[in-house]
Structure 1
Amino acid sequence: MLRIGVEERRARLARRHRLAPAARAGDVLEATRSMVCLHATEPVTVYLSAWARVDGFAMADMERALYEDRTLVKHLAMRRTLFAFPRETLPFAQAGASERVAVAERPRLIRDVEAAGLHSDGSRWLDDASAAVLEILSDGREATMAQLRKEIPLLEGSIEFGVGKRWGGRAAVAPRVLTVLSTSGRILRARNDGSWSTSRPRWSTTEAWIGEPLQPLSDAAGTAELVRQWLRAFGPGTEADLKWWLGSTLTAVRRALAEVGAIEVDLDGRTGHLLPDDLETTDPVEPWAALLPALDPTTMGWIDRSWYLGPYKSQLFDTAGNAGPTVWWDGRIVGGWRQGEDGEVVLQLLEDVGSDARRALDDEAARLAAWLGGTRVLMRYPAPLFAAAGSGAAAR
């Protein structure tokens, strides 16, 4: 069995994730394709992930890709998480991930509205509310959540959650109706009425937004293509890595690995997988520095992160597994970053990286601060490293 060591994995990461200066992407679409997709739960992540990978990146480049050219499309998929996908990947994401979310979300919403006493026949209510949304969005119209709720009385109402818990409260049913519709492939997030650092999407029918209905594919075909793309970008990886990333089952992962003809490799005693045409050694790169945002796809790409995260999980990941902003040196996470009151990018390193690395990281921090131009961005997932100071979450 071919052995793939940590140095080879880090060289692949540097080049394929476009983080080494010599490997940067030419535009945001190329950068996104390199990662399969970009995390979009944090509104700023897609921009900062692209900034780290595209030389000369401007905010308008992402706006154009998302809202004008629509070569990138935001969609809820793996692990019920929002991503920005290249448009050509969208049908595979729908079949291999989003449909699975829809199958779980629909009965859960029906059960919850009936238990809350909002509607005695939750299935009929959901069908009627969904039909009303699609009617409003017919003929290419786009509408915000607030507009839909104003025009559709069936979307009114809320459900109590976390009864007796500190984090409990009430949640409106309208967003959950849109979740069912979007994960079913019928509607998509269109233009954003907020700034680049906030999420206030308008909604559109899928056909109106991308110009055609989604190509119907089987779950097996969608999963196999997602696995193929993941192996190209993140491989080698284990079955556990893929199961976590997909939010799927080992059965589905093993079926997809067989479908793409994946080859087993030795990852220091664990079994990993690579595509059969991807077994050559990667040329090394010069040491490189990177500052990645919260939930960046590189930081979140594997469930086994020991080879690049080391002992720093508790400082950089919250208890739900969400990664805060990270500092990278030559293929490893070595700390976290935040913004100061004046917009300055502040590094907190967790180890002594040496003077050359420190200079490179300081240069990268200055480059990011200059790009932000004094704007402070909200990070909903600040690194626990900074929680005591409260600095990451207080940004504007």
Structure 2
Amino acid sequence: MQDSPPGSALLSLHARVDGISAGMVARAIEDRSMLLTWSMRGSPYLVPVAEASVYTTGVLPPAETALRHFVQGVERAVDRLGLTLTETADIVAAATREVLPGRQLAINELGAEVAELITPRLTAPQREVWIEEGAYAEGQPIGEAVVHFCVRVLALRRIVCFAARAENKAPFVLTEEWLGHPVEEADPAVARAELLRRYLRCYGPSTRGDFAAWLGVRAGDVDPWWGRLGEELVEVDVGRTSWILAADLDSLRTSTMPFGVRLLPPRDPYTQLRDRETIVDKVHHRDNWRTTGDPGTVLVDGEIIGTWRARKNGRRMRVEMKAFEALSRRHQDALAAEAESIALLRDASSVSVEVTTY
């Protein structure tokens, strides 16, 4: 479950699991059964610790060109340093292992300390670039920005992960310290194959291009994932040539529409589907997916029929829903009940619901 904005993973779980609570999720992180780490597209995800290698090792692009696309924005800086991104990540990893033991550091603190430690280890021309103010943030040296980018790679290498959130921050820790044991090596090829299986089970029928967009690489770079499954895949026609796991084909053919209502958060797994016209008419794509500030989506009987946002003032919460067309009284009542259950998750004592149409 992607957890950006923070709290989205909780709402995604609520849409799928009866009786979920914020305390249950917090305890799952504290007792190390769930792990919060950067994963697909360099975004924070809540994943099972027992299967973390699928969503870390399985995500890490093996080729330099694919890695550069995955960590977009760092290319010019590492080129000026005369290094590959892989070499730069190795340098940052070594320094992080010196800085982070026994500590929990927010990204800005970690970036500053690691960058400072690396500075004297660089050649004179590299140091000039490293300490120069960059274009990423005012007053931020290029070196600190490079560390920020490379921490995404370190998370996929399972060197660092997030500790539990505190004071609205999720600090970084060494993964082996957080889990209390050394991180076992995982076979990257096996992890990549399993990641693609999980993707196709969730989003199939799908294409190489859609998988690449979901993962965070280019379509031409997916062979290390796609090429592993071979005869496990079967080609289907759903208005375009797509692929699905052969083992899931019968389930797809006999599937039925679900019943009920759900308020899905921004970046819920369901709305991460790249073939968006499958689930939402194209005329409403801009309403559902925005460059920044995505709303949540309203799901009624298996169809996305609108968007929603929640605003909390003290312990009062207001939910504003905008539907693509008028809703029946039955659906409005069911959505009001769903909003009340979300208010409880967010520790609100009361909730008001306003429903309008686009």
Q: Smaller-chain TM-score range?
A: 0.7 to 0.9
2:196 corresponds to 1:227: yes
Secondary structure of 1:161's counterpart equals coil
Q: In structure 1, give the amino acid aligned to 2:11.
A: L
Calculate the TM-score normalised by the size of structure 1: 0.69
Question: What is the distance in 2 between the residues matched to 1:158 and 1:179?
Answer: 22
**CA deviation after TM superposition for structure 1 residue 128, in Å:** 5.6
Aligned to 1:289: 261
Kept in 2, the 8 Å contact 1:292–1:325? The answer is yes
Could you tell me which of 229, 238, 243 is aligned with 1:272? 243
Could you tell me which of 43, 52, 74 is aligned with 1:81? 43
**CA deviation after TM superposition for structure 1 residue 286, in Å:** 5.4
Name stretches of at least 5 consecutive residues in structure 1 with no aligned partner.
1-37, 163-167, 377-384, 387-396
**CA deviation after TM superposition for structure 1 residue 126, in Å:** 6.8
Calculate the TM-score normalised by the size of structure 2: 0.76
**CA deviation after TM superposition for structure 1 residue 56, in Å:** 1.6
Q: Residues 101 and 298 from structure 1, CA distance in 2 versus in 1: closer, same or farther, beyond 3 angstroms?
A: farther
Q: In structure 1, give the amino acid aligned to 2:236.
A: V
Q: Residues 108 and 287 from structure 1, CA distance in 2 versus in 1: closer, same or farther, beyond 3 angstroms?
A: closer
Q: Aligned ranges for residues 125-204 of structure 1 at < 5 Å?
A: 130-138=93-101, 140-145=102-107, 148=110, 153-154=116-117, 159-161=133-135, 169=138, 171=140, 172-173=144-145, 174-194=147-167, 198=168, 200-204=169-173
State, as a whole percentage, how many aligned pairs show the same letter. 25
Q: Aligned ranges for residues 23-42 of structure 1 at < 5 Å?
A: 38-42=1-5
Q: Residues 63 and 144 from structure 1, CA distance in 2 versus in 1: closer, same or farther, beyond 3 angstroms?
A: same
Q: Residues 344 and 230 from structure 1, CA distance in 2 versus in 1: closer, same or farther, beyond 3 angstroms?
A: same
Secondary structure of 1:96's counterpart equals coil
Kept in 1, the 8 Å contact 2:263–2:296? The answer is yes
Name stretches of at least 5 consecutive residues in structure 2 with no aligned partner.
120-130, 351-356
In the alignment of these two chains, the number of paired residues is: 323
Kept in 1, the 8 Å contact 2:261–2:300? The answer is yes
**CA deviation after TM superposition for structure 1 residue 269, in Å:** 4.6
If asked which structure has higher relative contact order (CA below 8 Å, sep 6+), I would say 1
Secondary structure of 2:163's counterpart equals strand
Q: Aligned ranges for residues 267-346 of structure 1 at < 5 Å?
A: 267-276=238-247, 278-280=249-251, 281-282=253-254, 284=256, 287-300=259-272, 302-310=273-281, 311-319=283-291, 323-340=294-311, 342-346=316-320
2:16 corresponds to 1:43: no
Question: What is the distance in 2 between the residues matched to 1:155 and 1:299?
Answer: 41
Aligned to 1:354: 328
Q: RMSD of the alignment, in Å?
A: 3.6
Could you tell me which of 186, 191, 201 is aligned with 1:216? 186
Kept in 2, the 8 Å contact 1:110–1:126? The answer is no
Question: What is the distance in 1 between the residues matched to 2:306 and 2:247?
Answer: 35
Aligned to 1:95: 57
Question: What is the distance in 2 between the residues matched to 1:131 and 1:375?
Answer: 48
Kept in 2, the 8 Å contact 1:287–1:330? The answer is yes
Q: Residues 264 and 76 from structure 1, CA distance in 2 versus in 1: closer, same or farther, beyond 3 angstroms?
A: same
Any idea what the Cα deviations from partners look like across 1:302-324, whole Å, max 9, x if unmatched?
2111121113111121147x742
Question: What is the distance in 1 between the residues matched to 2:164 and 2:177?
Answer: 12
